[in-house]
Amino acid sequence: MAQQYNPIGSGPDFARVKAPADGIGARSWRSWVLDRTRLALAVAVVLMLLGSLLATWVNTGAGAATVTEVTIFGTNGYQISAYVYTPKTATPATPAPGILMFHGLNNQKDYMDNTALEMARRGFVVVSADMTGHGSSNGGNTENGCGGPDALKYVDGLAVVDKTKVGLVGMSQGGFCAVTAAALTVPDGYNSIFYMESEPNPPGVPNVKPYVGLKNIAFNIGSFTELGSMVFIEKGAQAPMSIAMLPLFGTQGPIVPGQVYGSIADGTARILYQPWEDHALSTDSTGAIGNAIDWMQRTLTSGGGLAPSDQIWPLKLLGTAAALFGAFLFLFAMGSLLLRTSQFKTLVRPIPQYQGLSGIGWWIGALITTAVGPLLYLWVWTGMFFNGWLTPSTLWPQTFTNIYMVWGVIIGAIAWALIALNHFAFTKRQGATLESYGLAEPNAGIDWSAVGKALLLVVAVLAPLYIGLDVIKAVWHVDFRAWVVSLMPMSSARWSAFFGYLLPFGFYFAAQGIIFAGFLRWKKGNSSLRIEMLVNAVVMTLGALVWVLLLYVPLIGGGSQILGTGLMGPTAAGLGGIYYIPLLVLWPLAACLYTYFFRKTGRVYAGIFIVTIFMVWTLAAFGDFAVWPVIG
């Protein structure tokens, strides 16, 4: 018999609990408080609001500075979006040292908030900018010197900045592209440079002669960086012998970490910092941020101010992480609450009888599901990033989103083929039909009106979350973030990209949702919702976790990468590892959303829609533009 699911939303998730009938007011209040769905929704909203409030307070240096968002109108129509951190002590009458900083490839200025707020606490005026093709800046990636020269001219023109004391901070591409371009274009506009997991020369270009005249350079290379190839080393510990740095230090090596070579007063100083961290961790590392502070204090203020170790940014991370968790919780609670309303309660239908895989067949199916993506991941990364399988276009303009998209389409094609194979070879013989997979109604085919209503349900869940985030970002200048996992609103160009990516990603996510609902239900669908969500999250994520561990465990242990061969393989593996880390959070979330909405509605559509739209939102809002889309 088909399992029934209570349309009120009872069960092991967010249960409605009846309140004692001791007066209308008391009963109403108790009913609200004891209603787990409403309570969960209230907790989600509180986490988003209070977490963001804490984050914005810390982001001002605990009240030491103001943060404003500006648009820098540069050359040839380029517009650079930036946050300006202005300490209360910096005025036109008492100008302060200035710092221009840029994030890394496929990041945004928000990723540099931790470094920026710590600099602002120490009295520096900070301009933290989006590179071209990133965040809210227009253009394509690397165009116009990544925006560096225009941004430096803006900093030098600020009345509150002491033009004789200006530093540059660049993380990854923000260093070798934006900061280097700024320093070469405006050589009299700065005093020192901090390359955070970066270098002056483009990766793969060993000739550093054009950069020997750069003033007061600091390098921060993590001890287990996954992108040591940027400076021609296999692992971080080899940085003191990097051929990309030795000529700049004027030594045959090895470079002594922490020792200043040359003269700060003459602008010839060089230093190498080697904290215990990797490439991706540097923006959220007390080591790298402390080193940036140390170098700017040495070169711009003679070492005065708060100690580099005095850092409060982890409190900001606590706030944005709480807000991000609140956003995740909101998806479930809001969806559950809407399914009680008259508009959407008709979507709550019996869960179909399970006719999928069982026994050894289930384990084989789960193994294939968790392993296919990781097995193809490095191959796709190498082909997409270095061989250009798919050229960015107006429809699909984002480099890294395209990599995810091609990877997803390939996995989706395999998944659809396996669905067909399993259906005709195995599950059909057990009586499986479209109804068994959560696609159709008993003896009635697909209910297209219910499919449309499921889409409306998902829009009704996501719209208030998006609007709330948009308002928080505009007013408080913080997003929802836990390290590399972030949720942020989209510009018009990003909305254009979002709609272009929906169908390709939907091709993959639809297959994945059907597999979980129709073929891989734990214990034939007889387990609790919590257990089924947990099992599906493990199946969705285990292969990715193994892949990431294979990359990072040798590096953390002091060894070299074991993933990736040949000239480009290690770099592709390092980049792929950085962009696999967010999926260790997003994949379990996706699996839980699939499972939750299938158990709530008895059909796969709501789960597929919410996973597809939410995941494409995170990617489109985050990714860099190789091609700037034409809007309107």
Angle at which helices 360-385 and 492-518 cross, to 10°? 160
User: Are residue 182 and residue 297 in the same domain, yes or no?
Assistant: yes
User: Are residue 301 and residue 358 in the same domain, yes or no?
Assistant: no
CA dist., res. 195 & res. 471, Å (int): 33
User: Are residue 600 and residue 552 in the same domain, yes or no?
Assistant: yes
E strand or H helix at 33: helix 24-34
Phi then psi for residue 13, to 5 deg, are -95, -95
Does 386 map to a domain? yes
Nearest 5°: CA angle at 62, between 483 and 49? 60
Query: What pLDDT, on the 0 to 100 scale, is given for residue 443?
Result: 86
Does 540 map to a domain? yes
Does 446 map to a domain? yes
Two tokens, residue 407: 């990877």
Summarize pLDDT for 50-63 with one digit per residue, the tens. Answer: 999 999 999 999 99
Query: What pLDDT, on the 0 to 100 scale, is given for residue 150?
Result: 98
- Per residue, the 3-state secondary structure of 115-131, as one string, reads HHHHHHHCCCEEEEECC
pLDDT category of residue 323 using cuts at 50, 70 and 90? very high
User: Are residue 132 and residue 277 in the same domain, yes or no?
Assistant: yes
Neighbours of 105 (CB within 10 A): 21
User: Are residue 356 and residue 421 in the same domain, yes or no?
Assistant: yes
Does 134 map to a domain? yes
CA dist., res. 292 & res. 294, Å (int): 5
Neighbours of 372 (CB within 10 A): 16
- Tokens 């990097």, located at residue: 242
Does 27 map to a domain? no
User: Are residue 397 and residue 455 in the same domain, yes or no?
Assistant: yes
User: Are residue 282 and residue 423 in the same domain, yes or no?
Assistant: no
Q: Are strands 217-220 and 270-273 parallel, antiparallel or unpaired?
A: parallel
Q: Are strands 125-129 and 217-220 parallel, antiparallel or unpaired?
A: unpaired
**Cβ partners under 8 Å of residue 297, min gap 6:** 122, 303, 304, 305, 308
Phi then psi for residue 294, to 5 deg, are -55, -45
User: Are residue 359 and residue 307 in the same domain, yes or no?
Assistant: no
* Between 461 and 25, residue with greater pLDDT: 461
User: Are residue 120 and residue 224 in the same domain, yes or no?
Assistant: yes
Query: What pLDDT, on the 0 to 100 scale, is given for residue 537?
Result: 98
Reply yes or no on whether the pLDDT at 257 is more than 90: yes
Which has the closest alpha carbon to 582: 30, 106, 50, 24?
Answer: 106
Does 435 map to a domain? yes
User: Are residue 301 and residue 410 in the same domain, yes or no?
Assistant: no
Does 629 map to a domain? no
Query: What pLDDT, on the 0 to 100 scale, is given for residue 33?
Result: 58
Summarize pLDDT for 338-390 with one digit per residue, the tens. Answer: 999 999 999 999 999 999 999 999 999 999 999 999 999 999 999 998 888 99
Does 365 map to a domain? yes
Reply yes or no on whether the pLDDT at 594 is more than 60: yes
Average pLDDT for residues 512-520, to the nearest whole number? 97
Query: Structural domain tally of the chain?
Result: 2
Average pLDDT for residues 530-541, to the nearest whole number? 98
**Any bridge partners for residue 104, and if so which?**
none
Domain range for 190 is: 63-311
Percent of the chain with pLDDT over 70: 94
* Distance set, CA 206 to CA 254, 295, 587 (Å): 17, 25, 38
**Any bridge partners for residue 167, and if so which?**
99, 192
SS3 274: coil
Whether 136 contacts 162, CB under 8 Å:
no
pLDDT category of residue 28 using cuts at 50, 70 and 90? low
User: Are residue 272 and residue 364 in the same domain, yes or no?
Assistant: no
User: Are residue 408 and residue 279 in the same domain, yes or no?
Assistant: no
Last residue of a domain, one of 289, 311, 333: 311
Summarize pLDDT for 209-241 with one digit per residue, the tens. Answer: 999 999 999 999 999 999 998 999 999 999 999
Two tokens, residue 575: 């980049």
- Report the mean per-residue pLDDT for the chain: 93
Residue 194: CATH number of its domain? 3.40.50.1820
Query: What pLDDT, on the 0 to 100 scale, is given for residue 22?
Result: 42
